[in-house]
Amino acid sequence: MLKLPKAIITHTVNGRLRIKVPLEKGNNRYFQALEHKLSRCDGVHSIKTNSITGSVLLLYEADKKENIFKFAEENRLFKLQGHESVRMLLIDRVRHSFKDLNRYTKKLTGDELDIASFTFLSLLFLSIYKIVRGNFFAPAWYTSLWYAINTIIRSSDNR
């Protein structure tokens, strides 16, 4: 029998739950089936899935949270890793947000620009603008230029 994909609670408040299913990230078919099946779960008001980020957002009746996890397991959708809310460090939430923003930027520009490229171009143009305006003093064009070059070098290392 196949193992169920593990799910992680990334955020929860009363009546609202965000779950990530990292192993199924990018699997459109899985998330469509998940959305269809979970919408039939007692107490679920609304469900939105995003296969790109591997996340599921559920709006539900506050006292039905345990039913959702049980339903998901019984219907072979996912198995919750741990059982209480997993708190992410602020830096991890920021990192995930930037990864999502980077994917969105690439999609929006047809893979022409990512966040690092956009940052590089913005800082480069800011540097040129400051030079043209005659602003040669701190924090000046060379600071922006340094950040632009550093950004592009670091992003090249990660590719």
pTM of the model: 0.51
Residue 12's nearest CA partner among 115, 78, 86 is 86
Q: Which pLDDT band, with edges at 50, 70 and 90, does 159 fall under? A: very low
CATH architecture of 6-80: 2-Layer Sandwich (3.30)
Please report the pLDDT score of residue 152 as a whole number. Answer: 65
What is d(CA 1, CA 52) in angstroms, rounded to the nearest whole number?
27
Q: Where are the domains of the chain?
A: 6-80, 110-158
CB 25 within 8 A of CB 53: yes
pLDDT digits (tens, 9 = 90+) for 119-145: 888 878 877 887 888 876 656 667 777
Mean pLDDT of the chain: 82
- Note whether 52 and 103 are within 8 A (CB): yes
- CA separation for the pair 138, 140 (Å, rounded): 4
> Per-residue pLDDT averaged across 51-74, rounded?
89
